[in-house]
Amino acid sequence: MTKAHALYKRIAIVTAILIAAIFFMRVDNCAASDISIKSAMKVHVMGGYVILINYETYDKWIDGVLFKVHCKFEKKDFTFTSSSISNIERGWHKTQIAIADVIKKRYGSLRSYEVELYKNGVLVDSKKYL
């Protein structure tokens, strides 16, 4: 094998790896490009907590959207789930997940939480908050 042949072989391998990496990055972005979490915040209310979630949709219509909030309290961890949301038009939207005061009284204050966004059962976005 000549030096030139070995060089071309290395260039071909590097090129194939770069093409595969670019392809997989684009596939990942395509799955999450039609909806995303923009922000979330915890609000103290008389009845406990409310997690307010702002999200944006990019397609004309979106179906099968679900939010999960994983909460870490002082004494225990819990997961709260929204109902499935369908027939959402393109644009900015808000939803909220309420956490009862009895959870706060029994397990302590909310230390951190993570909001996950699912579309048709597939996780497409998540954000952690302290």
Q: What is the DSSP string of the chain?
A: --HHHHHHHHHHHHHHHHHHHHHHHHHHHHHHTTEEEEEEEEEEETTEEEEEEEEEEEEEEE--EEEEEEEEESS-EEEEEPPPB--EEEEEEEEEEEEEHHHHHHH--EEEEEEEEEETTEEEEEEEE-
- Domain ranges within the chain, ordered by starting residue: 1-32, 34-129
CATH 3.60.21.10 fits 34-129, yes or no: no
Per-residue pLDDT of the chain (130 residues), as tens digits, is 677 777 788 888 878 787 876 666 654 445 546 999 999 999 999 888 999 999 999 999 999 999 999 999 999 999 999 988 899 999 999 999 999 999 999 999 999 999 999 999 999 999 999 8
**What is the value of pTM for the model shown?**
0.72
Structure-block tokens of residue 109: 């204050």
82 in Cβ contact with 66 (< 8 Å): yes
